Amino acid sequence: MKSGSKIIVLVLLLSFTACTSHFRMTTRVHRDGTVERSVYAFADSAFRAGDRSTTPFLFLLDANWQVTCLDSFELFDSFGEKQKVNVKVSRSLKGTEDMLFFTPKEEWMRSLVAPQEKLEKHFRWFYTYYTYSCSFGEITEKGPVSMDKYLTKQEQRLLFQGDLNGCVDMNGIELSEKLNQLTTQFQQWLYQTQFELAYGVVEQFLDALPDTVRLSQIRRDKMTVFAHDKTLKDKPDCSPEYICKLLDEQYGGDFFTEMYKARGEAMDKEFEKRGRIVELFANQIKFELAMPGKLIAANTQLTEDNQLIWKVDGYRLLPGEYVLKAESRTANVWTFWLTGVLLLFIGYVLIKKRK
C-alpha cells in the first residue's frame, strides 16, 4: 500500500478491516483496590517461541508483564467481528497508587497506548464506593492544518465520539444529513492536510538542490496549486509523486517528475514518516471493565458477561481526550451487623432505664 493511499484509506472512515489490529483489554478492579489488567493479541510464531522483537503489542514488555501463549487461538467478539487472539500479557497494580501499566514503544503512540488511569476508594460505613476513570489523551500530531478550520469542537465530538449534545432535537433524517455534511468537511480537511504534507516533502528535497528560484516559486504558489487541483478532490490520493505532477503542470516541463524519479523512494519514506500518526488508526481496542459490587454509573451502555465495554481507537482521540468512567459500591456487611448490635444494645439500655 502506497503511503499516500495508506493515509486516505485509514483516515476516511472506510472499511479497512484487513489492515486493523484488534486488541482485547480486560480490567478487573478488586475490593482491596488491586487492579488486574490483561491484554490479548494475535502474535506470529516467532513471538510465541520467545522472540520478543516481533511483539504485536504497542507497548514495551518488561519483567512486570507475564506472557501467556494460548493453546492454538481463541475468538472474541470485536463489535460484531470475530477476531483471533493467541497470546495474553497480564500484570496487577495497586489501584489507589499510580497506575502506570504501559510504556509506549514510541512516544507518538502515547495517546492510544498509555492512558491516565485513576481509582478512588471511599469508605462510607454501610458501603465502600469505587470510582474508576481511564483517560486516553487527544492525538495532537494531526498535521499542518488545524481541524478546527473545518469542524468545530462540538462537530468533531459528534463525528468521532458520538457525542449527541446539540443534536437532541434532530430526527434520524436530519442527523444523517448532519453527519454527511460533517464527513464532507472532514474530507476537505484531510485533502488539505495530505496536500500540505506531500508539498512539504517536495520543498524539503528541493531545498537540498542549488536551485533556489524554484524553491521560492513553489513556496509562493502553494495555495494556487492547491486551488487548481481538481483531481485531488475527486480522487483523494495525494503523495509526493502526485505533487510533482501538479507542479510540472503548473510550470511546464518535467523537472519535478524527474526529481521524483531520482529521489522517489527517499521522498516516500519522508512522507510516511510525517504521516506516521496514521498507524494509530489501524488499531482497535475492546476495553472490558469489571467493577466490584453493584454498578452505580458508567458512561457506556455496552455490557457483556457483566462487564462494561468501550470501543477505543484513534478516531475517538481526534477531538480531545476520551474518558471511560464507572462507579460501583460494595456492602460492608460487618457494619450492618455492628449497627444492629448497637441498636439492640441501645434499645436494651433504654428499656432498662424505664424500668
How high is the pLDDT of residue 235? 57
Domain co-membership, 260 together with 287:
no
Boundaries of domain holding 108: 12-142+280-336
Domain co-membership, 136 together with 284:
yes
pLDDT digits (tens, 9 = 90+) for 49-73: 999 999 999 999 999 999 999 998 9
Instruction: Using the 3D structure, point to which of 250, 274, 298 is the last residue of a domain.
Output: 274
Domain co-membership, 110 together with 194:
no
CA distance 355 to 351: 6
Domain co-membership, 26 together with 110:
yes
Domain co-membership, 208 together with 249:
yes
How high is the pLDDT of residue 287? 98
Nearest to 308 by CA among 316, 299, 319, 317: 299
Pairing of strands 81-94, 66-78: antiparallel
> In this structure, is residue 149 part of a structural domain?
no
Domain co-membership, 98 together with 172:
no
Domain co-membership, 269 together with 297:
no
> In this structure, is residue 350 part of a structural domain?
no
Nearest to 250 by CA among 204, 219, 209: 219
In the predicted model, is pLDDT for residue 332 greater than 80? yes
pLDDT digits (tens, 9 = 90+) for 182-222: 999 998 898 899 899 999 999 999 999 988 899 999 999 99
CA distance 317 to 115: 11
Q: Which stretch of DSSP H or E encloses residue 182?
A: helix 172-207
How high is the pLDDT of residue 348? 73
> In this structure, is residue 111 part of a structural domain?
yes
pLDDT digits (tens, 9 = 90+) for 258-285: 999 999 999 999 999 998 888 888 999 9
> In this structure, is residue 4 part of a structural domain?
no
Domain co-membership, 220 together with 296:
no
How high is the pLDDT of residue 243? 95
> In this structure, is residue 352 part of a structural domain?
no
Domain co-membership, 134 together with 25:
yes
Count helices and strands (H / E) in the chain.
11, 11
> In this structure, is residue 302 part of a structural domain?
yes
Domain co-membership, 50 together with 27:
yes
Q: How many domains does the chain have?
A: 2
Domain co-membership, 92 together with 186:
no
35-39, 92-96, 144-148 — most confident range: 35-39
CA distance 41 to 22: 7
Domain co-membership, 138 together with 17:
yes
> In this structure, is residue 1 part of a structural domain?
no
Residue showing cell 486551488: 227
Lowest mean per-residue pLDDT among 19-23, 26-30, 310-314: 19-23
> In this structure, is residue 344 part of a structural domain?
no
The per-residue pLDDT of the chain, averaged, comes to 90
How high is the pLDDT of residue 355? 66
How high is the pLDDT of residue 145? 93
